[in-house]
Structure 1
């Protein structure tokens, strides 16, 4: 931890303390989660579910970013260096009197469902979704604290007393650890209600009171639903009948679409409860989905325009390069390169070619001088076009020589292995 300077304490939990720290390398501020447990080896550190989950889920715009894992072998101390957010949802609504704008609530819930959808698709469920673990920075929401997470594919039963009681799903309360990733959606529904009303939905004082608070709102579930849960050793299923008040009296100003999604999230039967991916398709989020699609389309158009501009720049460069080449060629024709050397005629040595039949000599054609003026000042004189003066008629000896040549035909090359 000598790379970071502690600035202040942000929060304290059962298993860790969270500090605000400053990096001595780049000067940026980070959240440092110091574990109270001591570790013996780096293998033990890497086996932590929280570290494994963050490495699998990062990067994602709605999952807290893990920057570095700091482990001191001598002391056994472990710290997770994460990005620093402004506050959590609980701090946002604590002591607040004026309700949050519905668009802000919608934006937060949309991002929360996105984080859960990303988690569940990657085979992880959180098991402790609550306002304290949902972090915000301006208009961005990120889910944090993955210390209680589990694999979707791990074998049941799980730990019974998981999650904070007020956000614990019925299947967690009524079974001996037989629950699934749908518990995260129940907790999200409780958070949805709380950021709308500033009050917890089911503030039970103990396990039995928690079930009673749920039945006060939703009513006693049907026996068919209760029979799905495995009989718990801790409590009896002989609940007195309650009709339930419903959510509307407690949040009278909520829109019908948000009320519909809230009910879908706190469905008593986990098999009927909405999933994160389904929640993102709910009519409540239609406006955000449309805006998101438009933003994606605009981004694609901008990238396409950049590619077109880039291609045009390449084409203009090629045209310019060809123009320069043509200009250079014309300049060369107008001003031919002058070679320094003797201006008088040089007789080339005769070649002795062996193995060639000596042919009868023919009268050489007459050539006119190719120079307009003789060279006097050491410069190469201007050339005139050469005119060939001779006969186009072939001699009898040439005809006889051509007819005496034999014609040969090459054998056809066979195709092997699909080629030649």
Structure 2
């Protein structure tokens, strides 16, 4: 008996594909990330940065929950079992003709930045903040996902040069040869903030040079002082001879947004990463004043107590890498059912932990009604969009 039954394919990336599946025993639905690479040993699985990061960050209300790791050593196949969310942030806004409710935008951004703050305080930065990696439940509950690109804040620079999806890539990721840090996550979140406010991507560059030109047209070209900082770490393929531009400003692009929203957006999109707000500073911005819980004492608010509880474990010391500070994954986490991999033809393209789609029995009417009700709830906030728009997004290049 196989443990999971394949329902549908939800998406595919360079290194993995994500499938919707149902647990045969309890009938609960899950998102299962099937890795395309093969892993030679349990030790190699233990060292997978995504698993290590999720173990350090969990549990947290705004971080996707890793429920199970399935590893078959003979075949080298690996699958990560996650809780299933209804949609991602891009799917929520795709094809919309009316702006999202300002209160919903405020709530979604607050949850996103809480997840960034928790992650950064734990010594990790994401490196691929974009709408597709931000998952939504019931059109309002947010969880950050896809930690496959994450790194330890204290690991040695330079990092991988080509990281993050281009449209959400911070200037320091383009202009330097791998010298960047957690501030790039705040930049990505600022781009997401603009996108859910305007329903359009802020910097949809076609290549890295076009990406820089788009940034300069809106934010203005950087000062010579900023460029001098980047110059010592410059990427060999980028010329620093930029024509001076004042920039059109963000306020002209989202005139319907509040003054606080535009101010926060601008401070999250500061060219110099050293002057960009940190995630913790973003949470203290006036834009979120209504979401911050009233104080329970003269010194600490309920919100600060909650955030402290999320980071109760000690933060890694400087100089300690992500890999060095995490314990190995033990058998209790790798709850692999050997039967889940048995008797599957090696040429089958479907991961062997799943039954074939045509093996799915008739669903119970109650389950179907429940899922339809959830789908209707989401579609009240998001209209159907075209596949063509989706095809041009999510590419890392």
- Give me the TM-score of the superposition, normalised by structure 2: 0.73
Mapping 1:378-397, distance limit 5 Å: none
- Give me the TM-score of the superposition, normalised by structure 1: 0.69
Taking the aligned partners of 1:17 and 1:103, their CA distance within structure 2 comes to 34
Taking the aligned partners of 1:255 and 1:212, their CA distance within structure 2 comes to 27
Q: Per chain length, whose mean CA-contact separation is higher, i.e. which structure has more relative contact order (CA < 8 Å, sep 6+)?
A: 2
Deviation, structure 1 residue 35: 0.4
Taking the aligned partners of 2:19 and 2:238, their CA distance within structure 1 comes to 40
Is residue 2:87 matched to residue 1:87?
yes
Question: Matched residue of 1:128: which SS?
Answer: coil
Query: Conserved in 1, the CA contact under 8 Å of 2:23 and 2:29?
Result: yes
Question: Matched residue of 2:234: which SS?
Answer: coil
Other-structure match for 1:327: none
Other-structure match for 1:228: 229
Other-structure match for 1:15: 15
Mean Cα deviation higher: 120-129 or 23-32: 23-32
Taking the aligned partners of 2:25 and 2:183, their CA distance within structure 1 comes to 42
Across the aligned residues of Structure 1 and Structure 2, the Cα RMSD in angstroms comes to 1.9
Other-structure match for 1:120: 120
Cα displacement string for residues 27-86 of structure 1 (whole angstroms, at most 9, x for unaligned residues): 111100000011111111110000000111010000000000000112111000000000
Aligned pair in 2 of structure 1 residues 296, 233: CA closer, same or farther (>3 Å)? closer
Deviation, structure 1 residue 5: 1.0
Taking the aligned partners of 2:234 and 2:122, their CA distance within structure 1 comes to 31
* Structure of greater Rg: 1
Cα displacement string for residues 188-233 of structure 1 (whole angstroms, at most 9, x for unaligned residues): 0000000000110001110100000000001111100111112321
- In structure 1, stretches of 5+ residues that fail to align are 301-420
Other-structure match for 1:146: 147
Taking the aligned partners of 1:296 and 1:212, their CA distance within structure 2 comes to 43
Other-structure match for 1:111: 111
Taking the aligned partners of 1:249 and 1:228, their CA distance within structure 2 comes to 30
Match of 1:287 among 274, 277, 290: 290
Question: Matched residue of 1:52: which SS?
Answer: helix
Q: Point out 4+ residue stretches in structure 1 off by more than 6 angstroms.
A: 291-295
Is residue 2:60 matched to residue 1:60?
yes
Other-structure match for 2:182: 181
Other-structure match for 2:160: 159
Match of 2:254 among 240, 243, 251: 251
Deviation, structure 1 residue 2: 2.6
Aligned pair in 2 of structure 1 residues 296, 123: CA closer, same or farther (>3 Å)? closer
Taking the aligned partners of 1:100 and 1:292, their CA distance within structure 2 comes to 30
Aligned pair in 2 of structure 1 residues 179, 296: CA closer, same or farther (>3 Å)? closer
Other-structure match for 2:172: 171
Taking the aligned partners of 1:213 and 1:175, their CA distance within structure 2 comes to 18
Other-structure match for 2:270: 267
